[in-house]
Structure 1
């Protein structure tokens, strides 16, 4: 799919309208508590929210922690991607970059996470022809190679 790109490097270097980044549920609650100043907002794993910082738009996804695969982790991860694409559509975003949601410290196996990500992004692009590009931003060559092999690039 020509609307899906792969980038290896820092997400900040990309020229996109929105960046999707991942938080654990506990980190997101702490961040919101500081931002709201008057209590906690309910956020669940699989939820997303949009924020603007220093002129950039960020979609923050509450990614699932990998607990062996028996706790709906793949469905929660799919929800992150699906809801992020819905927010992008709602805000008329034409280009969006995704960092690997739930990989790394949250322990989601990269090969499984990539399959979920690609499936949900393809669905989201079918629902929203106005999105011109989605960039999977990979921090390392192994993840980049996994995306390339899954997408045939």
Structure 2
């Protein structure tokens, strides 16, 4: 949750923490210290967005893939979306933007990740919460074509 520590790394985590400002890294560090262990895959936390053009940041840790994707890893990725959407609903947010969770440095196959993301959001919308809009903010043309 405290971000990427590789200077000039082009991952989404680094971008979010860079543009949000040091306040985001500090609040995440405090959350992790209070929790007493690293954030597990599949859960979510919410923090202020500080210098970003949004009110909040939803933090989630996706599964890291090495080799063939296992059923448990698919379930963890779906849980990332459910956990974030649940927090959004609890905090009365009307819209949420997602990056392609786990598809970059964590090597989740893009097409399968998109399928899981869309299905998770469709299931969530059946609950009829205050969340009205979900945006899939993609980085690669490949992902744009998939979504």
Q: TM-score, normalised by structure 1?
A: 0.69
Q: CA deviation at 1:130?
A: 2.2
CA RMSD between the two structures: 2.5
Q: CA deviation at 1:22?
A: 6.3
User: Structure 2: how far apart are the matches of 1:101 and 1:78?
Assistant: 10
Seen in structure 2, the aligned counterparts of structure 1 residues 107 and 130 have a Cα distance that, compared at 3 Å, is same
Structure 2: unaligned runs, 5 residues or longer: 1-11, 15-24
Q: CA deviation at 1:54?
A: 1.2
User: Structure 2: how far apart are the matches of 1:69 and 1:122?
Assistant: 22
In the alignment, what sits opposite 2:56? 57
Matched, 1:131 2:131: yes
Q: CA deviation at 1:140?
A: 1.6
Q: CA deviation at 1:128?
A: 2.8
Higher percent of residues as strand: 1
Q: Number of residue pairs matched? A: 120
In the alignment, what sits opposite 2:44? 48
Contact 2:89 2:129 (C-alpha < 8 Å) held by counterparts: no
User: Structure 1: how far apart are the matches of 2:144 and 2:31?
Assistant: 39
Q: CA deviation at 1:36?
A: 1.5
Greater length-normalized contact order (CA 8 Å, ≥ 6 residues apart):
1
User: Structure 1: how far apart are the matches of 2:123 and 2:40?
Assistant: 22
User: Structure 2: how far apart are the matches of 1:59 and 1:46?
Assistant: 12
In the alignment, what sits opposite 1:35? 29
User: Structure 2: how far apart are the matches of 1:107 and 1:33?
Assistant: 28
User: Structure 2: how far apart are the matches of 1:63 and 1:38?
Assistant: 17
Contact 1:100 1:138 (C-alpha < 8 Å) held by counterparts: yes
User: Structure 2: how far apart are the matches of 1:33 and 1:83?
Assistant: 19
In the alignment, what sits opposite 2:106? 106
Matched, 1:145 2:145: yes
Q: Secondary structure at the match of 1:85?
A: helix
Structure 1: unaligned runs, 5 residues or longer: 1-20, 24-30, 148-153
Contact 1:22 1:102 (C-alpha < 8 Å) held by counterparts: no
User: Structure 2: how far apart are the matches of 1:95 and 1:64?
Assistant: 24
